Amino acid sequence: MKTNKNILKITLGVFLLTTVITFANNNNPIKKKKEKENNEIVSVASPIELNKEYLTNVHENASQKEAKFLSSIISEYDVKTSPKFEARRESFTTIFKSNKGVAEVTYDNEGRVIAVEKRLKNVILPTQIQQVVFKRYEDWVIVQNKYNVSFKQGSEVKKSYLVTIQKGNEKKLIRVNG
């Protein structure tokens, strides 16, 4: 009886493993083929492929995990799956929120990121930004910061930090371009 149960477990395990491997090999995340009504096959680009320019230009510093996380979500989001998109011909704007901030993103009708305004608070400052602040304000302590990123397709990405520093009871707000 134990032998029959073992054979059944092994057979079931091999079947599941084969099924998983088959699905994994047939799943191409970059391009999917879609059949039109007239049986013509066209390649449809994935959101990641459409948004390579955004990811390349807004690549965040390694210390800013929250910023990178939001950028990943923005670039992978398929606007065509949103019930509010409804096959629009014009741009589509949506908002992404996290525990560190917010990003307002505009996509074109194909799902390509065309503009992003991202505002995050209290991110880990990159080393070079910390060095700039501490070089100018030696005896000061950083109490909080805001990280702003502005991306517009075809334009230079603008990154800045608003850093609040404190020395005793005195506080200052300084802007550092990133």
User: Each residue of 11-37: pLDDT tens digit?
Assistant: 544 444 444 444 444 444 444 444 555
Measured between alpha carbons, how far is 94 from 143 in angstroms, rounded to an integer? 31
**Per-residue pLDDT, 21:** 45
Has residue 92 been placed in a domain? yes
- Structure confidence at residue 41 as a pLDDT band (50, 70, 90): low
- pTM value surpassing 0.95: no
Q: 138 is written with which tokens?
A: 């030696």
**Gyration radius of the chain's alpha carbons:** 24
Tell me the mean pLDDT in the region 52-75: 74
DSSP state of 94: E
Note whether 117 and 102 are within 8 A (CB): no
Whether residue 64 is predicted with pLDDT greater than 60 in this model: the reply is: yes
Has residue 11 been placed in a domain? no
Has residue 158 been placed in a domain? yes
Has residue 28 been placed in a domain? no
Q: 124 is written with which tokens?
A: 């880990």
pLDDT tens-digit series, residues 45-62: 777 777 777 777 776 665
Measured between alpha carbons, how far is 86 from 44 in angstroms, rounded to an integer? 18
Has residue 162 been placed in a domain? yes
**Per-residue pLDDT, 82:** 81
Has residue 55 been placed in a domain? yes
pLDDT above 90 as % of the chain: 32
Tell me the mean pLDDT in the region 53-74: 73
Q: CB neighbours of 1 closer than 8 A, spacing ≥ 6?
A: none
Has residue 155 been placed in a domain? yes
**Helix (H) / strand (E) containing 147:** strand 141-152
Mean pLDDT computed over every residue of the chain: 77
Has residue 23 been placed in a domain? no
**Per-residue pLDDT, 26:** 41
Give the residue among 137, 97, 139 at the shortest CA–CA distance from 117: 97
Residue 71, domain extent: 44-177
Say how many domains are in the chain.
1
Whether residue 103 is predicted with pLDDT greater than 90 in this model: the reply is: yes
